[in-house]
């Protein structure tokens, strides 16, 4: 084999190696949290955010019959209602992390200044343990007092259900998120919010 042919073969091999290595490198692109990127069609951040947007809008806009907080303030000399976030049950077959939109909802309630939110059953255990610890270890004038917890008037509960229809490479998935505010004394449902999402997912028949 002549030297030119040998050199060009080596160059070609090096090029192939570089291309192969370049193809294997992980590529990360930072994108805006507002950008909607759907890959698999399963529940994702876009769905969570859409649910939070819709439920928050329904919580405060009177066209959705949600003047409960204002009505409470009117009936109670401007005092704000106190809400505790209960359980949001996932009744779908998918893994759906509900904490993201529940936290969005809590933030909205707090930031609106119309509602007070108290720590949920899970959160308050840690707080209570700390308070009990303070009775032993903190200086008397700085101790958090026992028995001063604020009782909630309403509990926010909810569930997520889904219906799926599948045929060949096509799939339709429907999610329904229902949130309800229950009066803790009377069990009366004071407010309900709902958001529905429907997706059509089509997979190519042949994939590499």
Partner 1 sequence: MRRTSLAAAALVLTAAAACAPRMQPVRPIQANGAIVPSTQDETIARAHTEGRAERERAAAEQDQTVAAALRACSGATCDALARGQLSLGMTREQVLAATRTGGAAWEERGAGFVTTLTARDDGRGPRDAVAEVAYVTLENGRVRSYAYREPQGVRLVASAADATPAAQARARAEALRREGDDFALAGDFQRALDRYDRADVIQPNDPETTLRIARALDKQLRPYEALIRYRLFLHQLEIEKIRAYGDAYANMAGAIAEARSRIIVLERNGR
Q: Name the site residues for partner 1 (rule: CB under 8 A).
A: 32, 34-38, 49, 52-53, 56-57, 59-61, 69-80, 104, 107-108, 111-114, 153, 167-168, 183, 185-186, 188, 190, 200
For the record, the structure tokens of 20 come out as 């192969």
Residue nearer to partner 1 on the CB measure, 61 or 123:
61
Residue nearer to partner 1 on the CB measure, 56 or 131:
56
Q: Partners of 84 in the beta sheet?
A: 118, 155
Phi then psi for residue 201, to 5 deg, are -115, 125
Residue nearer to partner 1 on the CB measure, 80 or 124:
80
Residue nearer to partner 1 on the CB measure, 89 or 170:
170
- Cα dihedral 37/196/178/33 (nearest 10): 20
Shortest Å, Cβ 17 to partner 1: 33
Asked if residues 169 and 204 have their Cβ atoms less than 8 Å apart, the reply is yes
**Residue whose C-alpha is closest to residue 118's, from 80, 69, 70, 151:** 151
For the record, the structure tokens of 2 come out as 């002549």
Shortest Å, Cβ 26 to partner 1: 20
Shortest Å, Cβ 22 to partner 1: 24
């Amino acid at each position: 084999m002549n030297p030119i042919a040998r050199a060009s073969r080596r160059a070609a091999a090096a090029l192939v190696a570089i291309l192969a290595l370049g193809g294997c490198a992980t590529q990360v692109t930072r994108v805006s949290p507002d950008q909607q990127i759907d890959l698999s069609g399963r529940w994702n951040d876009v769905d969570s955010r859409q649910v939070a947007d819709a439920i928050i809008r329904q919580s405060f806009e009177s066209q959705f019959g949600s003047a409960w907080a204002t009505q409470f303030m009117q009936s109670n000399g401007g005092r704000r209602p106190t809400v505790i976030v209960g359980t949001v049950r996932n009744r779908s077959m998918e893994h759906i992390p509900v904490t993201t939109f529940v936290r969005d909802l809590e933030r909205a309630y707090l930031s609106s200044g119309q509602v007070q939110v108290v720590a949920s059953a899970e959160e308050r255990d840690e707080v209570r343990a700390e308070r009990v610890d303070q009775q032993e270890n903190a200086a008397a004038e700085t101790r958090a007092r026992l028995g001063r917890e604020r009782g909630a008037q309403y509990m926010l509960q909810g569930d997520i259900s889904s219906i799926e229809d599948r045929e060949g490479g096509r799939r339709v998935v429907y999610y329904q998120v229902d949130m309800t505010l229950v009066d803790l004394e009377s069990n009366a449902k004071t407010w309900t919010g709902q958001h529905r999402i429907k997706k059509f997912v089509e997979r190519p028949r042949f994939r590499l």
